[in-house]
Each structure stands twice: as C-alpha cells, then as structure tokens.
Chain A
Amino acid sequence: MSLIRSMWYYFERDLIKWTRWKMTVFAHLVTPAAWLIFVGLTLPVTFTDNYLEYLTPGIMVMSVLFASLQSGSLVIFDKILGFLNKFFAMPSPRESYLFGKILFITFRGLVQATVIFGVAVLFGITVYGVKSILLTYIVLFIFGALFASIATTIALVVDDHDGYAAINAMISMPLFFTSTALMPYDKMPGWLRTVASVNPVSHAIDSARVLLSGGDIPVSEILVLAAGATIVLAICTSVFRRATL
C-alpha cells in the first residue's frame, strides 16, 4: 500500500516538474505531430490511398518509443544530482521510486500519442469507436512500460549522461526504421521483413493498426508484449535493487 502511495508521489513530482516548463511540454507535443504531418502527407506511397491513416498508429507508437527511451536521463539526473541518496534514506519502499518513474515516462509517452491521434483525426482519419481507442491505449501503455523499463535499466547501468544519450540514439532509430511504422511487411525487402517481424515495435504497431482500423483484438500480439514488459520490468527491478545497495 505504501508502495503504491509513494509511487504516486514520485509520479506527481515528475509531472509537476514537466508541466511547469511550458516550453518543454510544447516541444514534446509538437515534435511527433510534425512527423505525422511531414511524413504522412508528403511521401509518395502507392500501397494505400490514405497513407496518413496507415501511418497514424506507427507514429503514435514511435512517439511512445522515443519518449520512453529519452526519459532514462531523468533517472541519471536524479542520481548525479544526489536526489536518490535523499530518497533512499527514507523509509518508503525504494522500488516505489522506480515504478513511479516508469509510470511517469509511460504516461508522458501516452500524452504525446494522444496529440498525434488528435491531429490525425483533424486530418480526417476514420475513427472506429471508443472501444478500439481504449484497447489501443492499453497496447500503448504496455509498450511504453516495456521501453520505460529498458530505458531505466540502461540508465542505471550506464550512469553517465552522454553515454546514455549515445546508446539511446543507437537503439531508437534502428528500432523505428526496422518496424512496420512506414510500410507493411509485403513492401519490405526480405532481410528487413525478417528483422521487422521480431521487432517489438512492429508488434505494437501491428496491434494498434488492427485496433484503430476496427479489426479483431490481436490477443496473441498483446500477450507477447505484456510478457516482454513483465520480464524486462523484473530485470529492471533486480538491476535497480543491486544498483542501490
């Protein structure tokens, strides 16, 4: 119980800090929207008549992916600036800090994805009811938690801001471009298709795409993502416990 409560307080701390800097919030929300507009409305694709509709789930997942991976620096700053020492000398469970952080990172990604979705609706994509949107958010949440856990694990291990930024850049771009965000499997070269089919980003995008176009619930995809998130979260927790003692 005190774990959940403390987790919420840590979440609240990050949330207030984030929203207080209006410019940061603005920048975080505009960047993914720019992706959607510049790529969605300009690329000359032939496999669909409504590329924006095809692209929207991909960019929503992308913004969650990038938001999650970048946010590991929050942990690094808390560590170098001495916050962790103060927090961990308090009786509230130490894991509540970690879970609060993962929750905030995931939440911030979902807010960005919402902006994308809003912009896409303005541009006239078809909306298939509340249920499909809710289920999409569940997929995005699981996916966000997965990558927030990866990001915090890297942050705990790397321990250095520049090193972290380099690793983030190294993994985020390839993950995005080897996914089904920009094109379907059958338009990919063979080697890319193989990589894309095992990429967790593709799994999230495929699920979101099926849901947002009114298809059946992709149960197995969601279960795979959830299993992955659970495993990574467990690894992250154990790395965290070792790093903090």
Chain B
Amino acid sequence: MIEINNLTKYFGDLCAVDHVDLHVKNEVFGLLGPNGAGKSTIVRILATLQRPTEGTARICGHDVVKDPKKVRSVISYVPQEMALDIKLTGRENVLLYAKLYGIPDRARKVDEVLDLMELSERSGDLVKTYSGGMRRRLELAQALVHEPEVLFLDEPTLGLDVAARKKIWRHISSLREDGISIFMTTHYMEEADEYCDTVAIIDHGKIVALDTPERLKSSLKQDVITINATGNFGGLDLDCVTFSRGDNGELRFLADHGESVLPEISQALLRQGMTIQSMMVRKPTFDDVFMDRVTTSEEDSAFDGYKFRTMLRRR
C-alpha cells in the first residue's frame, strides 16, 4: 500500500527525516517517536503537503511528488489540530468534504459516515457544542466520506480522555476490518502496543526499530530494575547488569534475573554513599522498548507550536 524508499527531508540544515525506508501493508501501522523526531513530517510528505528533499514515496502505486492528485484521491489526512468549523453543524462540516470530493449521492453518504461514527443524533448541532472525542470522530467522518484506501492520522487521540480514546480506537480497528490501511503517529505506547499491527520507532529522523509490538517487546528479554536514590551515581561494575539511563534521581538497569542481582546493586549503591528510597523489578513493557531505542531527551526537541495552539484553542 505504502512504499517509502530512502525518504529524506531537510529544513535548512536540520535533517528532519533521514533516509527512511518503510513498507506498509494493509494494516494499522504506528509511527512512534519523541516530539521532533520527524513523525509528522513523514505523514505530511505522504499526504502531499510537503515535498521530500530526496527519496520517493508511493501510495497505492502513485508517486507523491509526480502524481499528487492521484495520491490525494486515494487518501485521507487528519492532522493533529482539530480543524473543524465550529460555527457549522456536524453535518455541514462533513457535507463540505463530500462536496469537495465530488461524491455522488452525497446526502446519503454523509448520513452513512455520521451514523458510522455514532454522530447521527447530534449531527444538526453546531460543532461548538461537541466534546473533544466527538470532534475527532467528526473528523474521521469527514475523512471517510470518499472511501479512502489509506487513512493518515497524526496523533488521533492526543488530548482526549480515556473513554474517548477507547472509542476512537474501536472505530479505527473496525475501519481496518473494512479494508482501509491506517498509517498513524502516536505518543501513547500502550495504544501502539494494543492496536497497531506493526510499529516503527523513529528517533532523530531515523527508523530505529520496526516490527510487531509483540516481537519488539520480546526483544527486550531482560528485567527492568528501577531505583529511586539520591546522591552521586558513580557507575556500576557488575557482570550481567547494564545501566540503561538515569534522570531525576531515577536509575534504570537491565539484568537477566532482576530479583537475584537486586541485593548486589543496592550494596554497590550504598557503598557509593547513595541513599535508596525504593527499588522495583518488572518485566519490560512497550515503554521500555521505546526508552531503549530512543535517545532524544525532551530538552533537545523543538517547542511544538502545533500542540501549543491546540491547547490555546481548547480554552
């Protein structure tokens, strides 16, 4: 469905996307990464909103640079910001898209997608009165009105409460069953773990992991040891324990048998004059896969203006 070869995008000197290769089948594909890792840039290139500096991307066989019109006729793109006309009704918002797409028999089609997204009852109300979850579903209804083959979702559940997020995911999963390929970005590890067929982790514009969530998790066989301690950490010289990262007084280690090395680690830390508040051993989660592969710290990534504006608009 989507073939990305050697895709690269520079903004001035900054390399936002660095020679990325991806092949996406008919599936729910999740692109994960920290802020500023290049997720949205890839989606924007695929949605023909930006041109790559180098490399190619094809969607259903159409090249995004040479054949953008054909690409646009088979895709739908839902950006992070909820761009809905709040002074129009839900139905009018969808109707605009049906008209622009040139849908025949559009009244019926609009009713159908509104019904699919469980918005029929409120379709005559101004969008101003809609909750965040309803607005996102309305955007999905807009996106579905021309029956796309590929749906691009940029952070579809950002800023929604748990119930609304669950509902969005239920809809996304059922769209996948209807044969629509879904390419999405997300911050939420547990969502990617639960709902995506394939996950790619991107960091500094490069793909650092690509597999099913299960296999990515099983690649981390070791236990994760988390220790909250104060004092200066001077390194640890123990076999079969590797230091993973430390910040805000929290140290993380990886070890094959967490429980059995715990006493040795604690003794070593105490010898260094550290005070230990708590220790914990657990099996790796998808978060750990992410932390393990990603090196961008939050301070490095640029301020996210989009998110800021989204916050402002919600007030």
Contacts and interface: CB of A to CB of B under 8 A. Distances in A.
* Chain B associates with chain A: yes
Interface of A: 2, 5-6, 9-10, 12-13, 16-17, 20-21, 80-83, 85-92, 245
Contacts of A92: 100-102
Given A2-B102, A16-B92, A90-B97, A81 B73 contact: no
B183 interface: no
A66 B126 CA distance: 30
Nearest to B96: A13
B76 to A, nearest CB: 7
25 contacts: A2-B102, A5-B99, A9-B96, A9-B99, A9-B100, A13-B85, A13-B88, A81-B309, A82-B83, A83-B83, A85-B44, A85-B81, A86-B77, A86-B83, A86-B142, A87-B100, A88-B48, A89-B72, A89-B76, A89-B152, A90-B72, A92-B100, A92-B101, A92-B102, A245-B50
Interface of B: 44, 47-51, 69, 72-73, 75-83, 85, 87-88, 92, 96-97, 99-102, 126, 142, 152, 306, 309, 313
B97 A85 contact: no
A81 B78 contact: no
A171 to B, nearest CB: 27
Nearest to B93: A13
Contacts of A88: 48-49
B308 to A, nearest CB: 11
B85 A86 contact: no
Contacts of B83: 81-83, 85-86
Contacts, number: 71
A69 B80 CA distance: 30
Given A13-B96, A20-B87, A91 B77 contact: no
A16 B100 contact: no
A57 B97 CA distance: 40
Contacts of A82: 79-83, 306
- The interface residues of chain A, by DSSP majority, are classed as helix
Of A6, A21, A92, most buried by chain B (CB within 10 Å of CB) is A92
Contacts of A12: 96
Given A20-B87, A82-B81, A91 B73 contact: yes
B100 A6 contact: yes
Contact of A17 (B77, B87, B97, B313): B87
A85 B87 contact: no
Contact of B49 (A17, A21, A81, A89): A89
B101 A91 contact: yes
Q: Taking each of B48, B50, B85, B142, which has the highest tally of chain A beta carbons within 10 Å of its own beta carbon?
A: B85
B88 A89 contact: no
A89 B50 CA distance: 10
Contacts of B77: 85-86, 89
Contacts of B72: 89-91
A7 B87 CA distance: 20
